[in-house]
Amino acid sequence: MTLEPIVPLPPDWPKAPLAAVDAMLTAPGAKFEMDTVEIRGVSTRVWKNAPPTAAILARLARGYGDRPFTIYQDERVSYEANYRATCHLASWMQAKGVAKGDRVALAMRNLPEWPTIFFAAVSIGAILVPLNAWWTGTELEYGMKDSGAKLLFVDGERHERLKQCYAALPDLEQVVVSRACSPIEGDAVALESILGPCNSWADLTDIAFPEVGIAPDDDVTLFYTSGTTGHPKGAVGTHRNLMTNILTSGYSVARSMLRRGEVPPAAPPHKVGLLVIPLFHVTACSAGLMALIAAGGTVVFMRRWEPIEAMEIIQREKVNQTGGVPTIAWQLLEHPERHHYDLSSLESISYGGAPSAPELVKRIFQEFGALPGNGWGMTETMATVTHHLGEEYLARPTSAGPPVPVAELKVMDVDGVRELPVGEVGELWAKGPMIVKGYWNKPEATAETFRDGWVRTGDLARLDEEGFLYVVDRAKDIIIRGGENIYSSEVEDVLYAHPAVTDAALIGIPHRTLGEEPVAVVHLAPGTSATEAELQAFVRERIAAFKVPVAIRFSAETLPRNANGKILKKDLKALFVTDKAA
């Protein structure tokens, strides 16, 4: 076993071998007992005790009563209040003709109404489509058209961005606006006219929860993931996919405690989580929100990430856990005002979705006294496949952890034919109850990516002798900036649309807190001209701001290519080595 600890670990750690802990936690009758079921004709291990559907989770969560569910600024919504609002909104949707299988789109910031809309839709069998709130109007319009959503919930900002597009959306029947920025015109309605302000939801009448037949493998979500052709793809998630993360999260914590020699509690203690990554990502919605709800946790939202405000919230609300992407941890650690705030309530800071430095793992543990956590997953896996926490992560800071027991990993050769032995680098494939059904209305892309229950991830990785995952590179042409996926071809297509650009390449360069940042190299047509600022503005007008290259270099010659005509992007990175370190 190869360990690479970055801080001294207790000499008697671990108290039990990993295999023994796994066997204990998954034993017959245990909380994390497994079963084997057929999923689309493939025999698959599942968590036996996971809630079958999101609708059942919504009903069970009512049992937490007056405990705070969401906190946003001065707004507090209890579990009971959220349950009542969910029932009322579900009833309203049904009255509007929304039925099982219909798509309901949701484009808004992290707000108390986000999970209410989510559970109201999925509890009547609808497919919830969380659209990226950072997208431009054109990108949001694409998501609406591609999904065929008949109902759209937006906050005021998204409404202003999208309202000119409504007439061009043939499937759209109703728009519901929350927190409108200006008087609502046309056929759109205010969410407040249906439910009232969220601080008054506890006063809503207690009406019946919708009764709709929903099975674990019925469709529940369409989370969009960036595509290599410039258009996003909707990953079709099921209720089982979504609910799997509940037990996965609990399992990781229990395993860490047993390895430390502690006994996991019979019932999860109440925790307060500061959720700062957007709920339109599977990491926040599936791995974060669902696990917190199942445990009766309190979820604190922010309008946007701002370190000072975050520290104020952590101190005021006694936040126990936060994270999402390494950027958040770095900014908390390095903020000059940090020592003015009491952050001692923090128990864990977990993240994924972007490269992280071993130094970050060490500093979270030493300076916050919190347990660092890291995992691997993707939209196509509905978030978590591997995870490790605390000493396990400190011992292997460059690993993304071992797969949870219901998941399987293998490393395949470039042709996807031969499984490679331990330690060799190849393409990572994953299998388990968290793997989505495929891509919405894209059978060819589905057939290429999903094989007999396995998903071809496009990540280049290796596994060690104990099954710990090490992601070494990405086969797909993707840059991950602070947890946000940027596919090079999408940005390159926009650059090529500029009349002066005849050759373009987008590459990622390391960034200390964001993981990576996008930069571009372009070759201009003879007799034309363009400046860096001009090209950046051109890109910013057409796609989301986080995808805009932070720097652009100009090449007097066409860009270097290999014998197959592919641009040699590694050669281009040298153009940026003289830049100051981020």
In a domain, 488, yes or no: yes
pLDDT more than 70, % of the chain: 95
Q: Which SS3 state, helix, strand or coil, does residue 463 take?
A: strand
- Residues 432, 411 share a domain: yes
| pLDDT reported for residue 566 | 65
Yes or no: say if 506 and 491 are a contact pair by the CB < 8 Å rule: yes
| pLDDT reported for residue 483 | 83
Yes or no: say if 212 and 418 are a contact pair by the CB < 8 Å rule: no
Query: Last residue of a domain, which of 156, 183, 214?
Result: 214
CA 39 to chain centre: 23
| pLDDT reported for residue 346 | 97
- Residues 443, 327 share a domain: yes
In a domain, 3, yes or no: no
Query: Last residue of a domain, which of 452, 474, 496?
Result: 474
Query: Last residue of a domain, which of 424, 456, 474?
Result: 474
- Residues 553, 522 share a domain: yes
Average pLDDT on 251-274 reads 95
In a domain, 6, yes or no: no
- Residues 200, 312 share a domain: no
- Phi and psi at 526, nearest 5°, equal -55, 140
- Residues 182, 110 share a domain: yes
- Residues 181, 267 share a domain: no
Instruction: Provide the mean pLDDT of the chain.
Output: 92
**pLDDT tens-place string over residues 410-424:** 999 988 999 999 999
Q: What is the DSSP string of 363-421?
A: HIIIII-PEEEEEEEEGGGTEEEEEEETHHHHH-TT--BPBPTT-EEEEE-TTS-SBPP
**pLDDT tens-place string over residues 6-58:** 788 999 999 999 999 999 999 999 999 999 999 999 999 999 999 999 999 99
| pLDDT reported for residue 214 | 98
In a domain, 274, yes or no: yes
Confidence of residue 581 (pLDDT cuts 50, 70, 90): very low
- Residues 66, 202 share a domain: yes
| pLDDT reported for residue 300 | 98
Q: Is the pLDDT of residue 229 over 50?
A: no
Angle at 480 between CA 380 and CA 112, to 5 degrees: 65
In a domain, 227, yes or no: no
In a domain, 12, yes or no: no
Q: pTM for the full model?
A: 0.88
- Residues 243, 154 share a domain: no
In a domain, 222, yes or no: no
Confidence of residue 445 (pLDDT cuts 50, 70, 90): very high
Confidence of residue 202 (pLDDT cuts 50, 70, 90): very high
Q: Answer positive or negative: Cα dihedral of 404, 405, 411, 417.
A: negative
| pLDDT reported for residue 205 | 98
| pLDDT reported for residue 562 | 60
| pLDDT reported for residue 228 | 42
> What's the structural domain count of the chain?
3
**pLDDT tens-place string over residues 497-535:** 898 988 889 999 989 888 899 999 999 988 889 999 999
- Residues 436, 294 share a domain: yes
Q: What is the DSSP string of 464-531?
A: -TT--EEEEEESSSEEEETTEEEEHHHHHHHHHHSTTEEEEEEEEEEETTTEEEEEEEEEEPTT----
**pLDDT tens-place string over residues 358-382:** 788 888 999 999 999 999 999 999 9
| pLDDT reported for residue 8 | 87
Confidence of residue 557 (pLDDT cuts 50, 70, 90): confident
Cα–Cα separations (whole angstroms), residue 53 to 60, 82, 339, 435, 485: 11, 18, 44, 16, 28
Angle subtended by helix axes 79-95 and 113-122, to nearest 10: 50
**pLDDT tens-place string over residues 61-93:** 999 999 999 999 999 999 999 999 999 999 999
- Residues 539, 427 share a domain: no
Q: How far apart are CA 9 and CA 369, in angstroms?
A: 14
Q: How far apart are CA 390 and CA 258, in angstroms?
A: 12
CATH number of the domain that residue 483 is part of = 3.30.300.30
Q: Which domain holds residue 566?
A: 478-576
- Phi and psi at 193, nearest 5°, equal -75, -15
In a domain, 24, yes or no: yes
CATH number of the domain that residue 61 is part of = 3.40.50.980
- Pairing label, strands 75-78, 68-72: antiparallel
- Residues 447, 524 share a domain: no
- Residues 169, 115 share a domain: yes
Q: Is the pLDDT of residue 492 over 90?
A: no
Q: Is the pLDDT of residue 582 over 60?
A: no
3-state secondary structure 112-163: CHHHHHHHHHHCCCCEEEECCCCCCHHHHHHHHHHHCCCEEEEEHHHHHHHH
Q: Is the pLDDT of residue 550 over 60?
A: yes
**pLDDT tens-place string over residues 315-344:** 999 999 999 878 788 889 888 899 999 999
Amino acid in the structure at residue 470: Y
